[in-house]
A and B are shown apart, each in its own frame.
Chain A
Amino acid sequence: MRRVVVVGGGLAGLRTAESLRSNGFAGPITVVGDEPHLPYNRPPLSKEALRNGIEVEALSFRRKASVEDVTWLLGTAAAACDLAARTVTLDDGRVLEFDGLVVASGIRPRCLPIPGPAGGRTMLRTVTDAEALRPRLSPGVHVVIMGAGFIGCETAATARALGAEVAVVALDEQPMIRPLGADLGAAMRRRHEHHGVHFHLGHTIESFAGDDRVHSATLSDGTELPADVVIEAVGSVPNVAWLDGNGLDLSDGVVVDSAMQVATDIAPVVAAGDIARHPNALFGPVPRRIEHWNMPTETGRRAGQTLAALLAGDEPDHGPFAAMPSFWSDQYDHSLQSFGMPGLATRVVLADGDLDGPCIVEYHDASGLVGVVGVDRTRETGSYRGQLMGRSDP
Chain B
Amino acid sequence: MKIFMSSTSWITWVCFFWTALFGLGCVAIPLWAVSCGLFQEDFSSTIHRIFDPGVLALVVATFKQACISAWVSSFFGLFLGLWVGEYCFYFPRSRMQGFLAVPQGIPSVVAATAWVVWLGRSGVLATFGIHLDWSYTLKAVVLAHAFLNIPLIALSVAQSRRSLAISQLEVAQTLGASAWDQVRWLIWPQVRWAWAAASCQAFAFCVMSFGLVLILGGGPPVQTLETAIYQRLRYGTADLSGATIFALWECVLAGIPWGMVLFFQAKKKGTLRQPVSLYSLKESRGKVWVKKYKAYGLALWCSVLLFILPYFVVINRHSVQWLMDGEFRVLVGKPVMLSCILAGLSGWGAVATAIAALVLIQSKIIRTARLKSWLGILLSLPHGISILVLSLGVWLAYGRWIDPFEGSVAAIVALQCTLFFPWAFRMLWPILQTSQRQQVESAYLLGASPLQAFFWVEWPRWRAPLISTFAGVAGASLGELGAVSFFYSENLIPLPLLVSRGMQQYRFEEAQGVAGLLLLLSFFLIVISVETGQKISPGLKSGLRR
**Pairing of A with B:** no
